[in-house]
Structure 1
Amino acid sequence: MPAFKKTKIPLLWLRRHTSDRNFVLISSVLVGFTAGLAAVALKTFVHYIQVLLAWGNRFLDQPVWLVVFPIIGILLTVFIAVVFFRGKLGRGTASILYSIAQKSSMVERHKMYSHVLTSGITAGFGGSAGLESPIVVTGSAIGSNFGREYHLNYRDRTLLLACGAAAGIAAVFNAPVAGVLFAIEVLLTDISIAAFIPLIMSAVVGALCSKIILREDILFSFDQISPFAASNVLYYVFLGIMAGLVSVYYTRMALRIEEVFEPYQNQVFRRALVGGLLLGLLIMLFPPLFGEGYQSIKILESGDPAGLLQNSWLSFFGTNPWFVLAFVGALALVKVVATTLTIASGGNGGNFAPSMFVGAHLGFFFSRTLNMLNIGNLPESSFTLVGMAGILSGVMHAPLTAIFLIAEITGGYTLMIPLMIVSATSFAMVKYFEPYSLDTKKLAQKGELLTRDKDQTVLRIMKIRHLIETDFQQVAPEATLGELVQVIAHSRRNLFPVVNKEQQLEGIILLENVREVMFRTEKYDTVQVKELMAQPPAAVQYNDSMADVMNKFDETGAWNLPVLDGKQYIGFVSKSSIFTKYRKLLIKTTEL
Structure 2
Amino acid sequence: MPHYKKTKIPLLWLRRHTSDREFMLISSVLVGLTAGMAAVILKTLVHYIHVLLAYGNRLLDQPYWLVVFPIIGILLTVFVVRVAFNGSIGRGTAGVLFSISQKSSMVERHKMYSHVVTSAFTAGFGGSAGLESPIVVTGSAIGSNYGRDYHLNYRDRTLLLAAGAAAGIAAVFNAPIAGVLFAIEVLLTDISISAFIPLIISAVVGALCSKLILQEEILFNIGQREFFAASHLPFYVLLGVLCGMMSVYYTRMALRVEELFEEYQSKVYSRAIVGGILLGLLIMLFPPLFGEGYDSIRLLEGNNAQEMLQNSWLAFFGTNEWLVLCFVGALALVKVFAATITIASGGNGGNFAPSMFVGASTGFFFSRLVNLLSFNNLPVSSFAMVGMAGILSGVMHAPLTAVFLIAEITGGYTLMIPLMIVAATSYAMVKYFEPYSLDTKKLAQKGQLLTHNKDRTILRIMKIQHLIETEFQPVSPEATLGELVEVIAHSRRNLFPVVTADRKLDGIILLENVREIMFKTEKYDLVKVRELMVKPPAIVQYDDSMADVMKKFDESGAWNLPVLRNETYQGFVSKSSIFTKYRKLLIKTTNVA
Give the structure-1-normalised TM-score: 0.95
Higher deviation after alignment, 415-424 or 526-535: 526-535
Q: Deviations over 1:148-176 (max 9, x none)?
A: 22121121111111101100100000000
What's 1:370 paired with?
370
Alignment of 1:245 onto 2:237: no
Partner letter of residue 315 of structure 1?
Answer: A
Give 1:37's aligned amino acid.
M
CA distance in 2, matches of 1:416, 1:304: 24
Structure 1: unaligned runs, 5 residues or longer: none
Cα displacement (A) at 1:118? 1.5
Distance 1:60 1:105 in 2: 43
CA deviation after TM superposition for structure 1 residue 391, in Å: 0.4
Relative to structure 1, is the Cα distance of residues 439 and 208 closer, same or farther in structure 2, using a 3 angstrom cutoff?
same
**CA pair 282-530 structure 1, distance change in 2 beyond 3 A:** farther
CA distance in 1, matches of 2:427, 2:404: 15
Moved more, 207-216 or 44-53: 44-53
Match of 1:97 in 2: 97
Conserved 8 A contact 2:325-2:369: yes
Task: Give 1:40's aligned amino acid.
Answer: V
Aligned position for 1:347? 347
Gaps of 5+ in 2: none
Q: Which moved more, 1:109-118 or 1:541-550?
A: 541-550
In structure 2, C-alpha distance between the alignment counterparts of 1:119 and 1:503, rounded to whole Å: 55
Of 471-480 and 266-275, more deviation after overlay is shown by 471-480
CA drift of 1:330 comes to: 0.2
Q: RMSD over aligned Cα, in angstroms?
A: 2.1
Aligned to 1:431: 431
1:87 is matched with which residue? 87
Q: Tell me the number of residue pairs that the alignment of Structure 1 and Structure 2 aligns.
A: 592
1:101–1:461 CA contact under 8 A, matched in 2: no
Contact 1:332 1:359 in 2 (8 A): yes
TM-aligned CA deviation for residue 130 of structure 1: 0.8
**Normalised TM-score (structure 2):** 0.95
CA contact (8 A) 1:89 1:111 kept: yes
Cα deviation code 1:482-538 (max 9, x no counterpart): 544444444333323333454443322333333444455565556544443322211
Matches within 5 A, 1:35-184: 35-54=35-54, 57-58=57-58, 62-184=62-184
| Aligned 8 A contact 2:497 2:508 in 1 | yes
Give yes or no for the alignment of 1:263 onto 2:263.
yes
CA spacing shift, 1:470–1:273, aligned 2, 3 Å: farther
Q: Which amino acid letter does the alignment assign opposite residue 467 of structure 1?
A: L
Paired with 1:504 and 1:31, the residues of 2 have a C-alpha distance of 57
Maintained 8 Å contact 2:562/2:573: yes
8 Å Cα contact 2:35-2:138 kept in structure 1: yes
Q: Output the CA distance in 2 between the equivalents of 1:423 and 1:83.
A: 42
Distance (whole Å) between structure 2 residues aligned to residue 204 and residue 124 of structure 1: 27
8 Å CA contact 2:132, 2:172 repeated in 1:
yes
Counterpart position of 2:234: 234
**Residue number in structure 1 paired with 2:219:** 219
Matches within 5 A, 1:461-480: 461-480=461-480
Distance 1:446 1:545 in 2: 12
C-alpha separation in 2, matches of 1:35 and 1:519: 73
Question: What is the identity percentage for the equivalent residue pairs of Structure 1 and Structure 2?
Answer: 79
Structure 1 position 281, deviation (Å) = 1.1
Structure 1 375/82 Cα, relative in aligned 2: closer, same or farther at 3 Å?
Answer: same
Aligned to 2:277: 277
Amino acid at match of 2:158: T
Q: What displacement does 1:575 show?
A: 2.1
Tell me which moved more, 132-141 or 517-526.
517-526
Question: Distance in 1 between the 2:557 and 2:280 partners?
Answer: 61
- Greater shift, 197-206 or 561-570, is seen at 561-570
Change in CA separation of 1:530 and 1:269 when aligned onto 2, cut-off 3 Å: farther
The aligned amino acid for 2:396 is: M
Letter in 2 for 1:497: P
Q: Letter of the aligned partner of 2:281 in structure 1?
A: L
Change (3 A) 1:575 1:249: same
For each residue in 1:154-202, what CA deviation from the matched residue of structure 2 results, as whole angstroms up to 9, or x when unmatched? 2111111110110010000000000000011111111111111011000
Moved more, 559-568 or 244-253: 559-568
Q: Which moved more, 1:240-249 or 1:82-91?
A: 82-91
**Amino acid corresponding to residue 111 of structure 1 in structure 2:** K
Where do residues 376-415 of structure 1 align in structure 2 (5 Å cutoff)? 376-415=376-415
The aligned amino acid for 2:199 is L
Q: Which deviates more, 547-556 or 449-458?
A: 449-458
1:174-213 pair list within 5 angstroms? 174-213=174-213
Q: Name the SS of the counterpart of 1:264 in structure 2.
A: coil
Displacement after TM superposition at 1:51 (Å): 2.1
Correspondence for 2:358: 358
